[in-house]
Amino acid sequence: MHHMTLAEIARGLADKKFSSVELTQTLLARIAQLDPQINSFISLTQDLALSQAKAADERRANGESGALLGAPIAHKDLFCTQDIRTSCGSKMLDNFKAPYDATVVAKLAAAGAVTLGKTNMDEFAMGSANESSWYGAVKNPWNLEHVPGGSSGGSAAAVAARLLPAATATDTGGSIRQPAAFTNLTGLKPTYGRVSRWGMIAYASSLDQGGPLARTAEDCAILLQGMAGFDPNDSTSIDEPVPDYSAGLNGSLQGLRIGVPKEYFSAGLDPRIAELIHNSIKELEKLGAVIKEISLPNMQHAIPAYYVIAPAEASSNLSRFDGVRFGYRCENPENLEDLYKRSRGEGFGSEVQRRIMVGAYALSAGYYDAYYLKAQKIRRLVKNDFMSAFNEVDIILGPTTPNPAWKLGAKSSDPVAAYLEDVYTITANLAGLPGLSMPAGFVDGLPVGVQLLAPYFQEGRLLNVAHQYQLNTDWHTRTPTGF
Ligand code: GLN
C-alpha cells in the first residue's frame, strides 16, 4: 500500500479497495519501523490520524468524495497545529503547542486529509541540508550518508522513503525545490501570495511560501488544490481564483516556448548535472516545446542580496522569541536582560544566531543604505530580468542545484559553501515567482532535479509541463533501495 501516490490512493478509496483507517494504520506502522533510519519526523500524531481517518471513511460512506478525503499527509513542523507541538526544529519551541491551526492545516483537514505527524526541518527553516535541526539531522533515503536537502528535509525524506505519499513544505530560498531534487521528488513553490502564510512560523516574510512535496506533478496538483486560495488573515494573500490544477495537467506542449538562461551553465555546475538537464530539454522538445537561449544578467547578485534580506527579516521575526511570551526560558534569570540573553542564547542554535546577528547588523543605523537598501535594489533588478525573459518565453528551465546531495557534515563548518548551493532557487523567491523541481536522472546514485519557473500564478503551467514530462520519463518512479 505504501507505494501508492495520492492519485492512486484517491482511486482506491473511491473504489472501496481499502479504507482510510487501514491505510493510516499501515503507514503509521511503516513509519515506526523505518523512520529511525532517516529521522524525518519530529512528532507523530497517531491518535489524531486515526480519528481523522475514521471521520473521512464516514464522510465517504455518507456519499462525499474528494481527492484528499482520507489521504494521509504530514506537515512541516512550522505549520501551527492546534494543541500539538510546533517546534520549527528548534529547542526554542520544543515546548510550544500552537493555540490554533495554520490556514493550510485547517484547509487540508477540512478537505479530509489525515495528518500523520510533523516533519523534521532545519531550525527556523534556515539551511539547505537539514542538519541544523535541534532534533538531529535527517538522512537521505537514497544514501544514508548524505543530506536530504533542506530546510524541508523531513517532508522530503519521508515521502521519498514511501512513509507517506505527500507532505506540506515551505520555500524561502529553495526549501521545497532543493530537497525535492535531492530525494527524487516533485516539489512546487507557488507564487508569493498564492498559499496563506497565516500560522506558518515566519522566517523571512517577504520570501516564505508554502507548497506541496510529492512524488509526481499529478500529486502536487492535488495537494496544492487543498492549500491554495485567498485568506483574509494573511495581508499578503492574493484574491485570485484558484484554477482546477488536476484538470490542467493534460494540455499539449506543442509550441511551448522554453527559455534556457545561459548563466545557468557556468563553471559552478556539475557537468554531469548539465548533461541530465540537456536530456530533459530534448525530452520536452520531443513533446513539441521550442527552446530559446535567454539571459538573466543579474543572477550573479542574487545570493548576496538574499543573504542580506532573509537574515534582516529573520532578525525582526525572531525577536518575538524572548523567553517571556512563549517557548524556551532559561533557568533562574538574574534580571530581565539576563532572561533575554540566556533564553535566546540557549534556545537558538548557531546558524539561527548567525543569521540574527547578520540581519541586525544589516539593518542598523549607518549600514541600512549600504546593505539592506542595496539588496532591495538588486531584488528589483532580478525581478526585471525575469519580466523581460517572460516576454519571450512561457517557462524557464535549468538545474535545481549545482551539485547532488552532499555528505552529512561536509558543509556544516562552512556556511557560505552551503549558501552558494542555493544559486538556482533563490531568484524565484526574490521575484515572488512560482517554481517547480522534478526528477531528471541520477549522478553517482543520487537524484538530480530539473527546475521550471513560470510567470506569476502560472502554477498550472508548471504542473502541466511536469506531468507531460513524467508521462514520458520514469525517473520519478525510481525507489530508494531499502524503502
Ligand atoms: N537555504 C536557504 C536558507 O538557508 C533557503 C531556506 C528556505 O528556503 N527555507 O535560507
Calculate mean pLDDT across residues 150-165.
98
Give the whole-angstrom CA distance, residue 346 versus residue 338. 12
Q: How far is the CA of 422 from the centre of ligand 1 (A)?
A: 8
For the question of residue 132 being annotated catalytic, the response is no
Tell me if 432 sits within 8 A of 169, measured CB to CB: no
For residue 481, the number of C-alpha atoms closer than 13 Å in the C-beta half-sphere is: 4
What is the structure's pLDDT at 107? 98
Q: Is the pLDDT assigned to residue 250 strictly greater than 90? A: yes
For cell 546577528, what's the residue?
Answer: 357
Residue type, 113: A
Q: How far is residue 470 from each of residues 188, 279, 394, 452, 478, measured CA to CA in Å?
A: 15, 14, 19, 14, 12
Nearest CA residue ID for atom 2, ligand 1: 173
Which 8-state DSSP code applies to residue 123?
Answer: G
For the question of residue 407 being annotated catalytic, the response is no
Residues 6+ apart with CB under 8 A from 193: 236, 237, 238, 432
Q: Which atom of ligand 1 is nearest to the CA of 429?
A: 8
β-partners of residue 210 are 170
Q: Quote the Cα angle for 425-431-436, to 5°.
A: 40
What digits encode the pLDDT tens for the residues 325-337? 889 999 999 999 9
Nearest CA residue ID for atom 4, ligand 1: 127
Q: How far is the CA of 187 from the centre of ligand 1 (A)?
A: 15
Q: Mutation test of ligand 1: which of 124, 155, 203 has the most ligand atoms closer than 8 Å to its C-beta?
A: 203
Calculate mean pLDDT across residues 18-42.
98
Residue type, 210: G
Pocket of ligand 1 (CB under 6 A): 125-128, 151, 171-175, 203, 310, 422
Sheet holding 290-294, edge to edge: 41-44, 114-119, 72-76, 166-170, 210-214, 186-189, 435-443, 446-453, 395-399, 257-261, 290-294
Q: Is the pLDDT assigned to residue 232 strictly greater than 90? A: yes
Q: Is the pLDDT assigned to residue 214 strictly greater than 90? A: yes
Split at pLDDT 50, 70, 90, the class of 291 is: very high
Split at pLDDT 50, 70, 90, the class of 12 is: very high
Mean pLDDT, the chain, rounded, equals 97
Q: Which atom of ligand 1 is nearest to the CA of 421?
A: 1
Tell me if 117 sits within 8 A of 44, measured CB to CB: yes
Residues 6+ apart with CB under 8 A from 480: 141, 142, 160, 161, 184
Q: How far is the CA of 392 from the centre of ligand 1 (A)?
A: 30
Q: How far is the CA of 418 from the centre of ligand 1 (A)?
A: 10
Q: How far is the CA of 203 from the centre of ligand 1 (A)?
A: 9
Q: Given its phi and psi angles, is residue 316 left (phi above 0), alpha (psi -120 to 50 degrees) or beta?
A: alpha
Q: Which atom of ligand 1 is nearest to the CA of 419?
A: 1
Give the whole-angstrom CA distance, residue 166 versus residue 73. 6
Q: Mutation test of ligand 1: which of 120, 122, 416 has the most ligand atoms closer than 8 Å to its C-beta?
A: 122
Q: How far is residue 219 from each of residues 152, 283, 383, measured CA to CA in Å?
A: 17, 21, 29
Q: Which atom of ligand 1 is nearest to the CA of 127?
A: 4
Here the cell at position 101 is 491551526
Q: Is the pLDDT assigned to residue 373 strictly greater than 90? A: yes
Q: Which atom of ligand 1 is nearest to the CA of 172?
A: 8
What is the structure's pLDDT at 266? 86
Q: How far is the CA of 315 from the centre of ligand 1 (A)?
A: 15
Task: Identify the active-site residue in 20, 90, 133, 175.
Answer: 175
For the question of residue 91 being annotated catalytic, the response is no
Q: Which atom of ligand 1 is nearest to the CA of 176?
A: 8
Residues 6+ apart with CB under 8 A from 414: none
What digits encode the pLDDT tens for the residues 375-393? 999 999 999 999 999 999 9
Burial of 350 (0-12, 13-18, 19+ CB in 10 A): exposed
Task: Identify the active-site residue in 90, 151, 315, 412.
Answer: 151
Task: Identify the active-site residue in 20, 40, 43, 76.
Answer: 76
Calculate mean pLDDT across residues 211-239.
98
Q: How far is the CA of 127 from the centre of ligand 1 (A)?
A: 5
Q: Quote the Cα angle for 210-213-217, to 5°.
A: 115
Long-range contacts of 233-241 (CB under 8 A, 24+ apart): 233/103, 233/196, 233/198, 234/103, 234/196, 234/197, 234/198, 236/192, 236/193, 236/197, 236/205, 236/206, 237/193, 237/196, 237/197, 237/198, 238/191, 238/193, 238/194, 240/194, 240/457
Q: Is the pLDDT assigned to residue 305 strictly greater than 90? A: yes
Quote the pTM value. 0.98
Tell me if 116 sits within 8 A of 84, measured CB to CB: no
For cell 542598523, what's the residue?
Answer: 364
Split at pLDDT 50, 70, 90, the class of 412 is: confident
Q: How far is residue 297 from each of residues 261, 276, 385, 444, 451, measured CA to CA in Å?
A: 9, 24, 7, 32, 18
